[in-house]
């Protein structure tokens, strides 16, 4: 996938690209040369090799994908950040929007045309050490978590967490946005809904939260414009369509 054909992204379509640092067959020596100087310095600062390798793969795969959507060489893409750390394309001028999430060895890039997008993934694990975080959630969300039996609790926690993160990442605010300033509800069998958002100029109704599982026991959510009509999960290594989500 390092050099691959251009990708068209029709209006209303969102692509989710999945890759895994432990499963990718793309040789890692192809990744580092794609990064710019600042990214290589950041890579060198990671304490653990696995974190460094994950960052390098995530950034190199992002550059290679954006190259295919924008028609510019991966090394020539320049990024800028908003004050909360969300990345945007500075060069070339482009209406492509994207967001990145990693958890464990997994990476997902969400790519949209002209509308913001936010994605989060979490490896499903024991949530016991994270339960204190739920005291920062909206009261209705806390009640939903408490209503779960012991077996369902981890799934509920990470489902809620990925939905909340996908939304705050789509807004570009990250964790600067108080986690109790908005509430997500989960109807049995339906899509999660943003019930309310007390933030300035919030338009919770203009977002759709779509859950997906890039692989077994990895929970994901992507926050997309409500007008999105086609959301697809694709494999970064092979380019194969893994699943149509919407
Ligand atoms: C954006 C944020 C919410 C995501 O953090 P995270 O869960 O650690 O990491 P993710 O893998 O989901 O996302 C990281 C990517 O989000 C992007 N990002 C950073 N700030 C962002 C923002 N304000 N809005 C949208 N995206 C942002 C970056 O591209 C980053 O990737 P990079 O570091 O390779 O450039 C971050 O602000 C944060 O502080 N997270 C803390 C998470 C936490 O406490 N988790 C524990 C509970 S499971």
Tokens 């209303």 -> residue? 12
Mean local confidence (pLDDT), 87-103: 98
Q: Which residues pair with 34 in a beta bridge?
A: none
Q: Smallest Cα–Cα separation from 115: which of 231, 229, 11, 232? A: 11
Q: Give per-residue pLDDT as tens, 113-123.
A: 999 999 999 99
Is the Cβ–Cβ distance between 26 and 2 less than 8 Å? yes
Kindly state if the Cβ of 165 falls inside 6 Å of ligand 1. Answer: yes
Tell me if the domain spanning 15-244 has CATH number 2.60.40.420.
Answer: no
Mean local confidence (pLDDT), 27-45: 95
Kindly state if the Cβ of 154 falls inside 6 Å of ligand 1. Answer: no
Domain range list for the chain: 15-244
User: In this model, does residue 44 exceed pLDDT 80?
Assistant: yes
- According to DSSP, residue 125 is labeled -
Q: Smallest Cα–Cα separation from 124: which of 149, 154, 160, 151? A: 154
Mean local confidence (pLDDT), 40-44: 97
> Which atom of ligand 1 lies at the shortest distance from residue 121's CA?
12
Mean local confidence (pLDDT), 220-224: 98
User: Residue 141 has which token pair?
Assistant: 């969300």
- pLDDT value at position 190? 84
pTM, entire model: 0.95
How many Å apart are CA 186 and CA 195, to the nearest integer?
10
How many Å apart are CA 103 and CA 182, to the nearest integer?
24
Mean local confidence (pLDDT), 77-93: 98
Kindly state if the Cβ of 101 falls inside 6 Å of ligand 1. Answer: yes
Residue 120 Cα to ligand 1 midpoint, Å, equals 8
- pLDDT value at position 150? 87
User: In this model, does residue 181 exceed pLDDT 60?
Assistant: yes
- pLDDT value at position 1? 52
Beta strand extents in the chain (DSSP E only): 13-20, 78-81, 87-91, 96-103, 106-113, 118-123, 182-185, 193-197, 207-212, 218-225, 230-235, 241-244
Query: Among 21, 36, 169, 223, which is best to mutate for testing ligand 1, by the most ligand atoms less than 8 A from CB?
Result: 169
Q: Give per-residue pLDDT as tens, 108-152.
A: 999 999 999 999 999 999 999 998 999 999 999 999 999 999 889
How many Å apart are CA 161 and CA 153, to the nearest integer?
12
């Amino acid at each position: 996938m390092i050099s691959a054909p251009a990708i068209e992204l029709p209006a209303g379509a969102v692509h989710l690209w999945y890759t895994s640092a432990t499963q990718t067959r793309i040789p890692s020596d192809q990744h580092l040369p794609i990064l710019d100087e600042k990214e290589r310095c950041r890579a060198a600062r990671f304490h653990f090799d696995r974190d460094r390798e994950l960052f390098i793969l995530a950034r190199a795969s992002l550059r290679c994908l954006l190259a295919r959507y924008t028609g510019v060489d991966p090394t020539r893409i320049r990024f800028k950040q908003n004050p909360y750390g969300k990345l945007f394309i500075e060069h070339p001028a482009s209406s492509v929007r994207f967001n990145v999430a990693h958890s464990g060895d997994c990476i997902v890039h969400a790519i949209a045309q002209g509308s913001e997008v936010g994605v989060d993934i979490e490896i499903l694990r024991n949530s016991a050490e994270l339960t204190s975080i739920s005291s920062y959630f909206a009261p209705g969300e806390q009640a939903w978590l408490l209503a779960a039996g012991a077996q369902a609790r981890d799934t509920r926690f990470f489902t809620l967490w990925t939905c909340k993160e996908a939304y705050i990442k789509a807004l570009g605010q990250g964790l600067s946005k108080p986690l109790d300033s908005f509430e997500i509800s989960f109807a049995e069998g339906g899509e999660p809904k943003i019930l309310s958002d007390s933030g300035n100029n919030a338009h919770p109704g203009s977002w759709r939260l779509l859950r997906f599982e890039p692989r077994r026991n990895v929970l994901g959510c992507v926050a997309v414009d409500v007008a999105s009509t086609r959301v697809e999960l694709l494999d970064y290594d092979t380019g194969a369509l893994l699943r149509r989500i919407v």
